[in-house]
């Protein structure tokens, strides 16, 4: 049974994005091609915004998931903040008129130049991940005559029960300050003259299908906030991170946690804490969702080039590759694969869907039953997150074009890279 959503479904035998046939989009713009649904994007963001309505809360989209300007513009106009991990991402926010006072800067390796850029635009907060970073930020802020608002990213040593490459909350992770060291690190931060201690941050991993680890991490953060208050270090915001998973359609995979249910349980716990131990003093809650906002808003369209029958494996060779969509090769991620126009009367067979890149790791899907012929267009489903944002130019392949669908209208929001674009900055030595 094809895995569809209200925004990507079959009509008259053709897969559509909203009310636009993906066959016509592929024919007009070519493949590989990323296609996004505006309605799906706004629906997913609104699920967070509606659950936060009436509360001191801020939804900061984790733009590493997908940083296309059209997507950032839609979210900024919807009231979103942004979770950034580089100076370049801050410049993207500014390019679409996003509010820097709704920007939080995460990441373990912020450079002096990035700190200066963020301070010059008075961002909301730096999520600091080490004592050396505290000292660097203090020095940079002092040299500019500014005070940097900071929170500490605390590593609660909670098992997120996800792929090890995207688990970030365990002791072995490069991210954050160890929970046992957090109190001493806050003392250091509070003593530095050019820092303002504003909050606490936590992010335990990505593609989380069970919110129990997130709620466990929340309990640990709440205890730490209370301990800090006893020392006169009063925090004004609690950033619980992101990481909620989406439904990729894999058989046997647990369903994702509905956003409203997760936020409801989280706010219930915070409200209980306020009543019992915090006397109702408000604390702003910040979220950093990425995949759960943009993941299932996009598909990657790709054209079948060859069907290659082998002794042990059959291969469906397509024009998209690991440079276009890295998740399967990097995380062994399962991606749904569906024909844009399902064939009738053509026998189905078992295939590995692979690309033309010269690597054995260049695959998009293993062991899929497909009825396809060369020239057919396939849709790699739920490819809106960590697709184009992780794409590369390996094998001198231009990155795919991107299209945003708004009802029956298709907007080209990123042109396809041409080979000449890829070496335009290079020089030969004679």
- Asked if 78 and 58 touch (Cβ cutoff 8 Å), the reply is no
Say whether 125 is catalytic.
no
Nearest to 278, CA basis, from 314, 251, 249, 238 = 238
Catalytic residue among 52, 202, 316, 358: 358
Cα-only R_g, the chain: 23
3-class SS of residue 329: helix
Distance CA 223, CA 60 (A): 24
Nearest to 177, CA basis, from 125, 119, 139, 221 = 221
Distance CA 331, CA 311 (A): 27
Name 424's Cβ contacts closer than 8 Å, sequence gap at least 6. none
Distance CA 176, CA 16 (A): 42
Nearest to 386, CA basis, from 166, 209, 102, 77 = 166
Name 401's Cβ contacts closer than 8 Å, sequence gap at least 6. 29, 30, 33, 34, 412, 414, 415, 416
Supply the residues annotated as catalytic: 358
């Amino acid at each position: 049974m094809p895995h569809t959503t209200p925004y990507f479904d079959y009509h008259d035998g053709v897969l559509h994005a909203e009310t636009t046939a993906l066959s016509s989009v592929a024919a007009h713009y070519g493949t590989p091609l990323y296609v996004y649904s505006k309605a799906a994007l706004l629906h997913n963001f609104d699920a967070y915004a509606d659950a936060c309505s009436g509360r001191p809360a801020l939804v900061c989209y984790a733009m590493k998931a997908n940083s296309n300007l059209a997507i950032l513009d839609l979210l900024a106009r919807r009231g979103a903040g942004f979770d950034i991990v580089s100076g370049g991402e801050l410049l993207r926010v500014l390019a679409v008129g996003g509010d820097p006072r709704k920007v939080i800067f995460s990441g373990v390796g912020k450079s002096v130049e990035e700190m200066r850029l963020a301070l010059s635009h008075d961002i909301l907060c730096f999520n600091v991940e080490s004592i050396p970073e505290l000292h660097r930020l203090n020095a940079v802020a002092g040299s500019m005559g500014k005070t940097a608002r900071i929170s500490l990213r605390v590593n609660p040593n909670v098992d997120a029960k996800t792929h090890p490459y995207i688990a970030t909350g365990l002791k072995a992770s490069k991210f954050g300050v160890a929970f046992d060291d957090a109190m001493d690190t806050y003392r250091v931060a509070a003593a530095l003259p050019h820092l303002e201690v504003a909050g606490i941050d936590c992010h335990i991993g990505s593609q989380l299908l069970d919110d129990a680890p997130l709620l466990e991490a929340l309990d640990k953060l709440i205890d730490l906030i209370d301990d800090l208050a006893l020392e006169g270090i009063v925090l004004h915001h609690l950033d619980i991170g992101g990481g909620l998973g989406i439904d990729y359609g894999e058989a046997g995979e647990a369903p994702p946690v509905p956003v409203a249910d997760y936020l409801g349980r989280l706010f219930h716990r915070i409200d209980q804490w306020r009543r019992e131990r915090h006397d109702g003093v408000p604390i702003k809650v910040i979220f950093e969702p990425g995949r759960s906002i943009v993941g299932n808003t996009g598909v990657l369209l790709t054209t079948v080039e060859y069907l290659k029958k082998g002794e042990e494996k059959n291969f469906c060779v397509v024009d998209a590759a690991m440079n276009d969509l890295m998740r399967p090769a990097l995380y062994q991620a399962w991606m749904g694969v569906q024909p844009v126009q399902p064939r009738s009367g053509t026998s189905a067979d078992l295939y590995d869907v692979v690309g033309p890149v010269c690597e054995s790791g260049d695959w998009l899907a293993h062991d899929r039953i497909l009825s396809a012929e060369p020239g057919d267009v396939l849709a790699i489903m739920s490819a809106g997150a960590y697709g184009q944002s992780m794409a590369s130019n390996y094998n001198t392949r231009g990155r795919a074009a991107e299209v945003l669908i708004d009802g029956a209208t298709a907007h080209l929001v990123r042109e396809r890279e041409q080979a000449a674009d890829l070496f335009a900055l290079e020089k030969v030595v004679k």
